[in-house]
Structure 1
Amino acid sequence: MSKLLIRPEKGKQGRVIQVTPQSAGWTYVGFDLYRLQPGDTVSAETGEREVCLVFVTGRGTIHAAGTDLGSLGERMSPFEGKPWAVYAPQSLDWSVTAETDLELAVCSAPGLGSGLAARVINPGDIGQETRGKGTNMRHVTNILPEGQPADSLLVVEVITPGGHTSSYPPHKHDQDNLPAESYLEEIYYHRLNPPQGFAFQRVYTDDRSLDEAMAVEDGDVVLVPKGYHPCAACHGYDLYYLNVMAGPKRTWKFHNAAEHEWLMKA
């Protein structure tokens, strides 16, 4: 199996995925995924990092810095509507108690001491857009985009209909070369509908020193340390993914693969 592909342990509850900068061999992005049953609680301190808690599915009550932020979450599938989320800056404790079966993503990156406050990101705050045309059309939900306050994190959801491609034409963001391109590490957390399906993702560089093609299944995580990273959803199975990005500068400037640039005008 590719070293870039991480699979959860089937049937496990609690934390089923953990990616740290140390385990990924990079600097910025961290990602934990929790699967909780009603009454289960998860808690942590942000320390020197900021986090974005995304209620992928289910509902739970959340406390941050001793403040009750209420009962959040409403969708029971990531393919139905917008998520609820919470932004929590560094040096803050938080806890979530599940009210229903709950899938909670904890996205993290370095905090920069900017003094931001914890806040709830409700579905009404979240913008959506459709990108691409034809079989390259996909639906994007901007949970924590560049225009919203954070120190390092960028968080977005994408739904790619069955038979379509996304993160395509292939693009990369692995050079700290602004304004042309920004350096951003990235994680893809994948879900399939129906869940028995599979999709494909390729991660590769121009010189092919990195070139991995992976069949991704429901619940898999793919690491993108560098290079291009297109996805393809198979016929009959819609593909959801949660993207987490961070780097030295909080901006998304990407470079398209030159040989496929013509697709932007086709």
Structure 2
Amino acid sequence: MGVAPPGPSGGARRHLPAGTAAHGPYSVDVGPATAGWGHAALRVLPLPPGGHHTYDTGDSEWIVLPLSGGCTVTADGRTFRLTGRPGVFHSVTDFAYVPRETRVTVASRGGGRFALAGARCERRLPARYGPADAVPVELRGTGTCSRQVNNFAAADTFDCDRLIAVEVLTPGGNWSSYPPHKHDEERPGEESLLEEIYHFEIAPHDGTPGFGYHRVSPSGHGRNTDLVAEVRDGDTVLVPDGWHGPSIAAPGHDMYYLNVMAGPGAERAWLIRDHPDHAWVRATWPGRPADPRLPRYSAPGPTPPDHRAPAP
């Protein structure tokens, strides 16, 4: 995997501006070796029309998720055709799960960009297709705290060994990942120990690039990560520990981020603890409406059988 630039103290940087985590064929290449942690990984693979890429999964499970365009994914003697989407602000997408210890080929007739979300794992689960129409679309929060969550590989929606991954869309001017929360301790039934990656896309406004802000503050556990980052399209943020949030979208610029999480716990679960100074915010949500700009989109209709089934 690629090598993240060193931070001020010589360790891995936590904010990786677009292009700074590129390596080989990947525009983003972050994993345990470069992040300095044990499990979570993210690669972003751009392919030209007619392009293809083959890689070995090694000791990790992976989900191939189209960010733009469609592709075929071949693994374990099976080929899955992913319809994909024009872009992350356009629709939910289908995806493919590929297990550890296999060779994978991603090929795209029309070209596109494809996220490879990974996690070191123990079990070898079967390669599978994830249809877009089965992705739960959740509206979370109210008012200016409203956001949309596409739970394509949440802990309770799609079976993986260690990997948890979701997409979040935040309308311009809103706050998400709020109230600030953490998952940097293993507290049975209360909190999971999970590493987390945020990968951002920011919608332009009338052709003008946008931006947002992301905060991670020390929790007293782990490395006491302390970060305030201005994030732009293609940036990546690593969260090994700490209270994280808010992620703030600038007015006029919708924000997308892909969350990739994994950890060492025996139970694959997303259990969080809200920051005690801000936990009251969540109690104001019941019975109040979400931002009327949401949902940005819903899950599509049933996936055609020739896409749902693996190709011969």
TM-score category by the smaller chain? Answer: over 0.9
Task: Kindly indicate whether residue 70 of structure 2 is the aligned counterpart of residue 62 of structure 1.
Answer: no
Q: CA deviation at 1:209?
A: 4.0
Q: In structure 1, give the amino acid aligned to 2:260.
A: V
4+ long deviations beyond 6 Å: none
The whole-number CA distance in structure 2 between the counterparts of 1:263 and 1:198 is: 25
In the alignment, is the contact (CA less than 8 A) between 1:57 and 1:73 conserved in 2?
no
The partner residue of 1:163 within 168, 173, 190 is 173
Corresponding position of 2:251: 235
Alignment partners' CA distance in 1, 2:80 and 2:225: 43
Counterpart residue number, 1:138: 147
Q: Residue 7 of structure 1 contacts residue 219 of structure 1 at CA under 8 Å; is this kept in 2?
A: yes
More strand by share: 1
- Computed over aligned residues only, the root mean square deviation of the Cα atoms, in angstroms, reads 1.8
1:35 paired with 2:46, answer: yes
Distance in 2 (alpha carbons) for counterparts of 1:109 and 1:142: 17
Which residue does the alignment assign to 1:263?
281
User: Residue 64 of structure 2 aligns with which residue?
Assistant: 53
2:131 paired with 1:122? yes
| Residue aligned with 2:209, SS | coil
Deviation at 1:143, TM superposition (A): 1.1
Q: What residue is the counterpart of 1:104 in the other structure?
A: 114
Sequence identity, in percent? Answer: 35
The SS at the match of 2:39 is coil
Counterpart mapping for 1:71-86 below 5 A? 72-86=82-96
Partner of 1:202: 215
Which of 160-169 and 37-46 deviates more?
Answer: 37-46
Q: Name the structure 1 match of 2:202.
A: 192
Q: Distance in 1 between matches of 2:168 and 2:74?
A: 28
Aligned to 1:219: 234
What is the one-letter code of the residue matched to 2:116? V
The 1:38–1:200 alpha-carbon spacing in structure 2 relative to 1, beyond 3 Å, is same
User: Alignment length, in residue pairs?
Assistant: 263
Q: Which has the larger radius of gyration?
A: 2
Alpha-carbon deviation of 1:92? Answer: 1.5
**In 1: Cα distance, 2:279 partner to 2:164 partner:** 25
CA deviation string 1:183-204 (max 9, x = no partner): 0000001001117100000111
The one-letter code matched in structure 2 to 1:14 is P
Q: State the secondary structure of the residue aligned to 1:259.
A: coil
Q: What's the secondary structure of 2:230's corresponding residue? A: strand
Question: What is the Cα deviation at residue 34 of structure 1?
Answer: 1.0
Q: Secondary structure at the match of 2:84?
A: coil
TM-score norm. by structure 1 comes to 0.94
Q: Deviations over 1:66-125 (max 9, x none)?
A: 22223x133111001101211111112111112223111111112212x42100111012
Name the structure 2 match of 1:175: 185
Which is further off, 235-244 or 186-195? 186-195
Match of 2:28 in 1: 17
2: CA distance between counterparts of 1:206 and 1:151?
A: 27
Secondary structure at the counterpart of residue 264 of structure 1: helix
CA distance, structure 1, for counterparts of residue 83 and residue 15 of structure 2: 28
Deviation at 1:14, TM superposition (A): 3.2
CA distance in 2, matches of 1:45, 1:73: 23
The structural deviation recorded for 1:262 is 1.5
Give the deviation of 1:236 after TM superposition. Answer: 0.2
Q: Contact 1:7 / 1:17 at 8 angstroms: preserved in 2?
A: no
> What is the CA deviation profile of residues 157-205 of structure 1, one whole-angstrom value per residue up to 9, with x for unaligned ones?
0000000001100000000111111100000010011171000001111
Checking the alignment, whether the CA contact within 8 Å between 2:45 and 2:114 is kept in structure 1 is: yes
